[in-house]
């Protein structure tokens, strides 16, 4: 294999030069490949779609995690749904005020696979004293749990197949039930420049689920096709998304970050005019 070609959209393609294939398995359910590349380091792809690379994963994970935790300001309990690669867990435990991070991953094999082939993503986070890892169905967990959280991070795949349940109104409603007062839920909503419907329906469903303030922000992840990833931000408190960089800085930004800054945090909530007309906010 000389080139990996992404096949997420029928009208758009991207290629990554393959230096060495480390793992490739075609089962009756999925095609899974991990390969080394010169441009983006180690690449993980599932069914022809790039899931993460060691070259730019930090953008997605830092923005998905630090934005809600620092917007909240007093997060003690954090819940991650999905995220079996451990990148979100790695970032969440960096906050001294966070007492525990609960990760609910449906497949233990995903965690073990990523620890073997992509160890830098979790960087030991699964063994950290703050980590509480549950092997369970995320949708069922939020429907049945009596635990409460300050921040819920939904690090899901795209809304197709098994991952579709994590994009439903019922799922969002159950997440809202688990949030403490002042809590925040964040989700991945795809690239609205290529597929605006995804952002539109996730925002609509989050509003229908009862969140009083629903908006979105952006992260520039080069290897996610199209480059601009929208992340949903839902809470009952509108002032959480309008805090100044000075306030964010005062809350203690981890020192070793590579993308997130208080200024990027604030700027990420700026929306293009066409998107405001279509999605709102």
Tell me, yes or no, if 155 is annotated catalytic.
yes
Q: Which of 151, 143, 11, 7 is nearest to 80 (CA)?
A: 151
Helical ranges in 19-97 per DSSP H: 57-72, 87-92
Q: Which residues of 142-162 are buried (b: 16+ CB within 10 A; e: fewer)?
A: beebeeebbbbbbbbbbbeee
Question: How far is the C-alpha of 279 from the C-alpha of 281, rounded, in Å?
Answer: 7
The neighbouring-strand residues paired with 186 are 153, 233
Pair of tokens at residue 92 = 């969440």
- Please spell the DSSP secondary structure of 134-192, one letter per residue: EES-HHHHHHH----EEEEEEE---SSGGGGGGGSHHHHHHHHHHEEEEEEEEEE---T
From 56, 155, 158, 213, active-site residue? 155
The neighbouring-strand residues paired with 218 are 230
Contact (CB, 8 A) for 8 and 224: no
Instruction: List the catalytic residues.
Output: 155
């Amino acid at each position: 294999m000389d080139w990996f070609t992404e096949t997420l959209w029928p009208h758009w393609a991207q290629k990554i030069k393959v230096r060495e294939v480390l793992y490739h398995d075609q089962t009756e359910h999925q095609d899974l490949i991990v390969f080394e590349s010169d441009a983006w380091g180690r690449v993980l792809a599932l069914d022809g779609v790039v899931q993460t690379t060691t070259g730019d994963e930090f953008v997605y994970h830092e923005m998905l995690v630090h934005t809600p935790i620092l917007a909240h300001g007093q997060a003690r309990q954090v819940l991650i749904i999905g995220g079996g690669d451990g990148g979100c867990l790695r970032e969440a435990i960096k906050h001294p005020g966070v007492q525990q991070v609960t990760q609910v991953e449906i497949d233990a094999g995903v965690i073990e696979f990523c620890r073997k082939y992509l160890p830098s993503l979790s960087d030991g986070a699964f063994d950290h004293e703050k980590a509480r890892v549950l092997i369970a169905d995320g949708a069922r967990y939020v429907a049945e749990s009596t635990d409460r959280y300050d921040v819920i991070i939904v690090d899901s795949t795209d809304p197709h197949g098994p991952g579709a349940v994590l994009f439903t109104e019922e799922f969002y409603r159950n997440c809202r039930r688990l949030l403490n007062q002042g809590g925040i839920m964040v989700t991945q909503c795809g690239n609205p420049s290529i597929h605006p419907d995804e952002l539109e329906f996730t925002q609509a469903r989050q509003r229908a689920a009862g969140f009083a303030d629903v908006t979105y922000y952006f992260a520039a992840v080069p290897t996610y096709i199209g480059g601009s990833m929208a992340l949903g931000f839902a809470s009952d408190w509108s002032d959480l998304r309008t805090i100044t960089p000075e306030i964010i800085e005062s809350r203690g930004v981890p020192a070793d970050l590579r993308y997130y800054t208080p200024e990027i945090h604030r700027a990420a909530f700026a929306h293009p005019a066409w998107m405001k007309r279509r999605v709102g906010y």
